């Protein structure tokens, strides 16, 4: 795992999967599910990008940028062929995916990029800034947990895309393992006295959990 601001990739890399988010905190699902997508689409590398400020989360993150970056380093420390970049944190302001992808194309014009998103993000993708441009820059790969739900996902998208686009969206679905681990649940548990340790260990890797407690994040006691 590399952690870089000025991104450098091996010369042999031809396809890179881009995975962004708030990661507040990064859970086991944030590590396992994108790796399943990387394997499924045959990408050579995973690029993980913490957002400075998500346009869809106006309240901002609970942890600082530096803390979220460090937690990602710990979460992905055992993952090969992975780079965590602070490019959006360094850019600051609202983190628009289209801006990030344009920067990546300028830096690596010879590389094919794929954008990993969740099913919930696919449902609202029509609201993303320059959605069609994003698709042209990095065709999405949509994480769908388990083998159920594809029909419901596509049905939710039909009001916003024409028939040809819907067919392409269906082809972008990638089935990933069901991992019940959300940042919202992790934050809630960490703020409770006598939190369920077994559940916290299911949600968060040991290094991430230890760091959270060292920093006293999310109401967790030092």
- Both tokens of 131, joined, read 């959605």
Distances in whole angstroms, Cα of residue 164 to Cα of each of 36, 161, 167, 171 = 27, 8, 5, 11
Phi then psi dihedrals of residue 198, to 5 deg: -60, -45
* Mean pLDDT score across all residues of the chain: 91
| Structural domain count, the chain | 1
- Segments forming the whole domain that contains residue 140: 2-180
Distances in whole angstroms, Cα of residue 3 to Cα of each of 46, 80, 103 = 12, 12, 18
Residue 15 lies in a domain: yes
Residue 73 lies in a domain: yes
Q: Which helix (H) or strand (E) element contains residue 49?
A: strand 45-50
Residue 136 lies in a domain: yes
DSSP for 24-45, please give it. SS--HHHHHHHHHHHHHHT-SE
Residue 102 lies in a domain: yes
- Residue range 59-114, pLDDT digits in tens: 667 899 999 999 999 999 999 999 999 999 988 888 899 999 999 999 999 999 99
Residue 169 lies in a domain: yes
Residue 209 lies in a domain: no
The pLDDT value given to residue 1: 47
pTM > 0.75: yes or no: yes
Residue 80 lies in a domain: yes
The pLDDT value given to residue 149: 86
**CB proximity list for 14: less than 8 A, separation 6 or greater:** 44, 110, 111, 112
pLDDT band at 217 (very low <50, low <70, confident <90, very high): very high
- Residue range 142-173, pLDDT digits in tens: 999 866 789 999 999 999 999 999 999 999 99
The CATH number linked to 150 is 3.40.50.620
Distances in whole angstroms, Cα of residue 122 to Cα of each of 5, 113, 116, 155 = 28, 17, 10, 11
């Amino acid at each position: 795992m590399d952690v870089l601001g000025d991104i450098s990739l091996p010369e042999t890399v031809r396809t890179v999967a881009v995975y962004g988010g708030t990661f507040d905190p990064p859970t086991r699902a944030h590590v396992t599910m994108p790796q399943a997508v990387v394997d499924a689409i045959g990408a050579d590398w995973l690029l993980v990008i913490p957002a400075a400020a998500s346009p869809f989360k106006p309240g901002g993150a609970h942890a600082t940028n530096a803390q979220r970056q460090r937690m990602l380093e710990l979460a992905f420390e055992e993952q090969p062929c992975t780079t965590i970049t602070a490019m959006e944190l360094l850019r600051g302001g609202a983190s628009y995916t289209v801006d990030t992808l344009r920067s990546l194309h300028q830096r690596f014009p010879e590389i094919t990029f794929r954008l990993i998103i969740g099913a919930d993000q696919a449902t609202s993708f029509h609201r993303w800034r320059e959605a069609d441009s994003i698709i042209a820059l990095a065709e999405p790969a949509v994480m769908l947990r388990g083998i159920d739900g594809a029909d419901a996902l596509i049905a939710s998208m039909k009001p916003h895309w024409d028939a040809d686009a819907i067919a392409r969206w269906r082809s972008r679905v990638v089935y990933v393992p069901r991992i019940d681990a959300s940042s919202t649940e992790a934050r809630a548990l960490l703020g409770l006295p006598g939190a369920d340790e077994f559940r916290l260990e299911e949600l968060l890797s040991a290094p991430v959990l230890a760091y959270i407690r060292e920093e006293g994040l999310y109401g967790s006691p030092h």
